[in-house]
Amino acid sequence: MTHPLLDAVENKSAVVGVIGLGYVGLPLIHAFHNAGFRTMGFDVDPHKVEMLKAGKSYIKHIDSAMIGRWLAEKRFEPTADMSRLKEADALLICVPTPLNESRDPDLRYIESTAESIAKSLRPGQLVVLESTTYPTTTRDVVLPILDKTGLKAGKDYFLAFSPEREDPGNPDFSASRIPKVVGGYDALSGQIACTLYGKAIVKVVPVSTMEIAEACKILENTYRAVNIALVNELKMLYDRMGIDVWEVIDAAKTKPFGFQAFYPGPGLGGHCIPIDPFYLTWLARKHGMSTRFIELAGEVNSKMPEYVITRLMEFLNDQGKPVRGSKIALLGMAYKKDVDDPRESPSFELLEQLLHRGAVVTYNDPHVPKLPKMRHHDVPDMASSELTPAYLAAQDCVLISTDHSAYDYAFIVKHARMVLDTRNATKGVKEGREKIFKA
């Protein structure tokens, strides 16, 4: 099959528009810019747009110099003007898909984005939803909004779903180096979307429907959530038995088949793993089923911050100290090592619980200099403290929540009175091990 849009993609004259310039959208702009396309970035946050126009980045792994090159080459234009969506030939939707207070899918950002596209949708455009969501969202939510224009999917415009795949902090897996799953509304939509991504991504994996692509992403994240819940539960059991779960995992992963290592922690973080499995449980309820396995995993993982606080209270109690009034330093507010992404980070739950119990809490994170506002947490106005010997010695406990590579753990242990390690970050520290506790 052929189409003018397909020809424009082939010769790279098509303009690629990305809606949502966050941790998924900006790396996607980077991939298409490197592939030789002209790109447009859309975001409803005018502060982000103004920063980008000034050549400044707000994401660690997309540096300001890179954005400056995009602007200098005149192949990137950020804007908050959604009426300009018609100027792009392909529109890739990378907006948040959070949960509401009752842990049901909150699709307001997808819906409002689709409404904005519908206002200027023109024949010949490709619309791709990348935001992680439950199967049937593209067909049942996005498609009806776009079809209100009178234009028909597969004929006048083209529609597809391709789940975002990001591994922040891992230089081996930039957006362009992770295979892209693509499912089209119809054969031509799928062909155009696959061809587009094929110009910028190392490998494209076409699937038969949009629902297969949507379900694929949910499976990936649910798989991780369930396996992390397993090791978290084993950690709590092995703690009681005096067995080091980290050493157990290290031993098990020497098996060259049938085992993949997952690691425990103070809770789940990031936009995907703590949220996406609940999209599936919600969908199951709509179909009269319960997903007990997934719900149990969610229950285990969501209780990990509380478990860490309980262990901290036990260790403080052994030293004759109550948590109320104790000085606690949280190390790491980002959800994973070496990134500046705080979304759904368990550190914020730890912070909230400690403050609620009367602890005097400060934090350090080289990637998060000031605490951002969070949707589900009452975050105090707080900046990162410098890790000086005096600061560490003044704390009743230094709680390692995120194991950033920048930390000198031997230095931390040397100067701290007590270290509570939730990540096995102090594994290689030789001196002062009597001050290290695990949770």
pLDDT digits (tens, 9 = 90+) for 20-55: 999 899 999 999 999 999 999 999 999 999 999 999
171 and 32 together in one domain = yes
114 and 10 together in one domain = yes
In a domain, 280, yes or no: no
- Please give the pLDDT value at position 344: 84
182 and 327 together in one domain = no
Q: Cα(20)–Cα(33) distance, rounded to whole angstroms? A: 16
**Average pLDDT over the chain, rounded to an integer:** 94
In a domain, 228, yes or no: no
In a domain, 282, yes or no: no
In a domain, 252, yes or no: no
pLDDT class for 271, splitting at 50, 70, 90? low
In a domain, 231, yes or no: no
309 and 186 together in one domain = no
In a domain, 242, yes or no: no
Q: Cα(188)–Cα(247) distance, rounded to whole angstroms? A: 52
In a domain, 167, yes or no: yes
Range of the domain at 127: 4-208
Is residue 225 predicted with pLDDT exceeding 80? yes
**How many domains does the chain fold into?**
2
- Asked whether the beta carbons of 314 and 394 are under 8 A apart, the reply is no
CA dihedral of residues 398, 402, 404, 409 (deg, nearest 10): 30
Any idea what the Cα angle at residue 319 is, between residues 314 and 323, rounded to 5°? 55
Catalytic annotation, pick one of 94, 194, 216, 272:
272
Q: Domain boundary at 180, 208, 236, which?
A: 208
Give first-to-last CA distance, the chain, whole Å.
58
**Is pTM beyond 0.85 here?**
yes
Q: What is the CATH number of the domain that holds 176?
A: 3.40.50.720
Residues 94-143 pLDDT 10s: 999 987 776 778 899 999 999 999 999 999 999 999 999 999 999 999 99
Q: Domain boundary at 185, 208, 231, which?
A: 208
Active site residue 94: no
Q: Domain boundary at 208, 232, 250, which?
A: 208
201 and 307 together in one domain = no
In a domain, 325, yes or no: yes
